[in-house]
Structure 1
Amino acid sequence: MFWFLLIAMVVVVAAVTLAVIGGSDGAVLSDASPELPVDPLPAARPVGRADIEALRLPMVVRGYRMSDVDDVLGRLGAELAERDARIAELEAALAGARAAAVNDEGPGR
């Protein structure tokens, strides 16, 4: 019984090995094409909350592809910096307008 199981196991391993390497014609399995992000961030407009929620990065053997994650984080960082600068600009303009309004309503008027 032992020899039968040993021979059966060798046959199964050989069959799986031949199936993986492509049999007797010498063809090797082709490389899988890399996955691309399913919902890339829009290039023509600012990124919105719905874009981030819909974004799906492709999985690789050990997690996510670092270049895809770096691209997304770089884009989000640049957009946040733009928004922070715009908010600071608007707040400065609002403070200037309030100061001008207070000066126009001075104590002598």
Structure 2
Amino acid sequence: MGLCSYLSNLGGNLGFTGSAVVACCGGGGPYNYNESLICGNEGSKACAEPSTYVNWDDHHFTEAAYRIVAKDVLEGPFSTPRFNASCLVGRASDDGLHSAY
């Protein structure tokens, strides 16, 4: 099962109460999405509780949904074997652009 399907199908079990296909931030209509009134533009409106939604603006997940995606990629079920985050701790960056943890 892909991540989008996972969040859509299991949204209620993961703590989301808003519909997975309705945008938290947008411009109205049945999916709170209007191509000419996208999130951030004058007249768009964000929902009161973004943490209860999967979909932020029809193109991006909410912070809460991304948190679950990251956890499930790093800890499973979307990585086999499980990702070992300790391999990143204390390592210097190779490109000089990013600081070490």
For Structure 1 versus Structure 2, the TM-score category normalised by the shorter chain is under 0.3
Greater per-residue helix proportion: 1
Larger Rg: 1
Higher RCO, 1 or 2 (CA under 8 Å, sep at least 6)? Answer: 2
